[in-house]
A and B are shown apart, each in its own frame.
Chain A
């Protein structure tokens, strides 16, 4: 994975920012993703032709999105939709609204979706989209008009058997509902299966909210099994107590783990005897900002986020933000296992340090795949027009996460490579096999 590390480390060699510099150096994510593919291709001896196919997105669309703003002025936004690969099935990936969205970023994220769907074994390819905008400066009506116009502009790409968008940064169930409605109006029929991440009354799936956290808990349990460590003797620290972190904590607690440390933006809690998760959940539910702030319990110490990362536990679950485990704190981490619930919580430099220290990392591409798995269930239910009970959603999620984990764990052991590399090697191989089996048209 040397090339995977190369691109970000280039940033470090750039000169110190001068007073004129007001933007952090930008990492070329697409170059990083292609570099990672090249490295994996070499390791798995990938056919050069297939390698060349996977080095490019299948389709890219850049669109102008004119929107009449509330004050009557006209503003033209730039939007993108990129389909990296449809070899394994319809393309799947979110749509994000952010001022810094660009084509290279969208390409890279589309490719990452290809690998994510492949490693967890759901029948999708990868896609991503975005509009360059700051939705917080816009009224809801403006965001709605922009979403509808963007949807129409990328409509040739979309379809329940072609490309199924989902929420991403700064988009949500409401935005998905607008997309589904716009497509339904154009097709003159109900097309709720065109997107996932919808509200449940519009065809969303029950169990979606807890899905990522549940998936994190399942892979954590499976890893403990592999290490012959009973969950009742396992201590866990979780950074981030939002949707993912709180679901993971609750389910791990129910499984018998001792949750020794938790943190959110307001600070952290630590108890070597284990925190009372149901009591903490009651506190968080009652807190106006849904925070840990103000929680007091017998034997509970207040800690900060850095204390949490370096706390004496068996398993550390970063469930908050990216780049939290970096070169400067990686050597201080005392957990012997890290389960990446957040996207990209470990920098490449830290990854290397942790690997050298023998710390096992369950990579984000696998650990937090529960969300996309239940998105897949949402699509399946929409296509069937038949909706499952939450127990059925959880049952199938369990099965898919266990299979995904075992596949990566066994390959990692067999090939003697870290789980992150094993996951990417398996994913690229899965997609390559699909390309090869389907053959090249015509």
Chain B
């Protein structure tokens, strides 16, 4: 795998340079190809920093207490890290956007993130859609769901964590969380014609925030 990563790519067609299924299975240093656990650890650090908390454990505690702000900061950091990794792994990726369905005058912008149902809505703009990118996103999501459920798991089997409906069975917690990464991939053709989710990149009233670009 290391060879694959270091080998210069000579073909013109873009491709995902790492097998998505290996993303979560191989031990990796906390660098660009780190595990979902490392992504979450970094997110907790960001959360602690933004909330003025002493350490990441305090951020974990806030999450376990169901605090929306803590969840919001974690999700933002996860989104930025995921976007950066997609950029490294998919040569065709051009940009990534964070879409907040609630960031309108009709809803509130702070405190909406739901600890028990954390979800990141992203739009990935790529040269063209590939099965490899879809697999990568699915693998990322699976890894993040599991890692997030692990963080929330604090109590004994059958006993809910304080302030949480989630329980101590990680698999069941992961199933309850469902999806962390809701990533919509749009390609050049869609951006050019402004159709589907690509149309949102031209939004005035509901504009996504660009969190990464090549």
Contact = CB atoms under 8 A, between A and B. Distances in A.
A103 interface: no
Contacts of B193: 12, 326-328
A167 B192 contact: no
Contact of B210 (A99, A108, A139): A99
B205 A19 contact: no
A307 to B, nearest CB: 14
Interface in A160-198: 166-175, 197
A321 B203 contact: yes
Contacts of B103: 169-170
A22 B213 contact: yes
A23 B182 contact: no
Contact of A166 (B105, B108, B165, B202): B105
A93 B101 CA distance: 21
Interface stretch (B45-53, B129-137, B148-156): B45-53
B202 A27 contact: yes
B95 A109 contact: no
Given A70-B49, A136-B76, A169 B105 contact: yes
A18 B104 CA distance: 32
Nearest to B98: A136
B192 A17 contact: yes
A136 to B, nearest CB: 5
Interface string A27-64: 10100000000000000000000000000000000000
B205 A322 contact: yes
A263 interface: no
A234 interface: no
A12 B195 CA distance: 12
Given A99-B210, A242-B101, A17 B94 contact: yes
B168 interface: no
B201 interface: yes
A167 B105 CA distance: 5
B84 interface: no
Nearest to A71: B49
A172 B182 contact: no
Interface stretch (B26-34, B35-43, B57-65, B115-123): B115-123
Contacts of A288: 114, 116-117, 165
B69 A322 contact: no
Contacts of B204: 29, 105, 108-109, 322, 343-344
A141 B52 contact: yes
B199 A23 contact: no
Nearest to A341: B106
B72 A24 contact: no
A102 B105 CA distance: 19
25 contacts: A19-B127, A21-B94, A22-B95, A27-B202, A70-B49, A94-B105, A100-B207, A105-B204, A138-B50, A139-B50, A139-B51, A140-B51, A140-B69, A140-B110, A243-B107, A288-B114, A288-B165, A289-B114, A321-B200, A323-B203, A326-B194, A343-B205, A344-B204, A371-B105, A371-B106
Interface of B: 49-52, 69, 72-73, 76, 94-95, 98, 100-110, 114, 116-117, 119, 121, 125, 127, 165, 178, 182, 188, 191-195, 198-207, 209-210, 213-214
Interface of A: 8, 11-12, 16-17, 19, 21-24, 27, 29, 70, 94, 98-100, 105, 108-109, 134-141, 166-175, 197, 212, 242-244, 265, 287-291, 293, 320-324, 326-329, 342-344, 347, 371
User: Which 10 pairs, one residue from A and one from B, show the smallest C-beta to C-beta distance?
Assistant: A323-B199, A289-B117, A343-B205, A22-B213, A288-B117, A288-B116, A172-B108, A139-B50, A322-B203, A24-B201
